[in-house]
Amino acid sequence: MTPKEFIKAYKPFALQLQKDSGIDWRFTLAQAALESGWGKSAVGNNFFGVKDTDGVNGNEQLITTTEFLRTDKAKFPTVISKVFNPVTKLWKYIVKDYFRKYKIPYDSFKDHSDFFFKNGRYKEALKVKADPRAFAEGVAKAGYATDPNYAKTLCAVISTIERNDTK
């Protein structure tokens, strides 16, 4: 899916959630694009890489993912590989972990929006939710992803969304 196609297909969800939550639609759409590879990896309609915490209630799926962690003792259902990077001082894990699955794409977008309000660690980020780049920085700082370059990458995707939005 091209950025233009992705925007056309999923911008209505992001706009609706902006009305409901105040989170800028560009942030939501950019995070969906980044986490799903512009829709190519939205397995089970999970556009945001939202993990399932228990892996037992039927709304989960086991998916291969990459994690960057400070420990070599992390536990996952399956560890495929782990390599230490002496520059970043992080362990790069390739693992299988449990992620949520959704019946329709909108459910994923709604759950994503609700996630920020249910988790106190995003309290500071929510103060700038109307500014997509500031919110991206705040969400990354609060620990949304383990990639140390997450905010920078997400801001680049926001720029791509802005360049390709046909309104």
pLDDT at 146 over 70: yes
Identify whether the C-beta of residue 101 lies closer than 8 Å to the C-beta of residue 60: yes
What gap in Å lies between CA 114 and CA 122, rounded to an integer?
11
What average pLDDT does this structure show over 84-101? 93
pLDDT in tens, 5-29: 999 999 999 999 999 999 999 999 9
Region for 79 from its dihedrals, namely left if φ exceeds 0, alpha if ψ lies in -120 to 50, beta otherwise: beta
State residue 52's pLDDT score: 83
pLDDT at 51 over 80: yes
CATH number of 3-164: 1.10.530.10
User: So where are the chain's domains?
Assistant: 3-164
pLDDT band at 62 (very low <50, low <70, confident <90, very high): confident
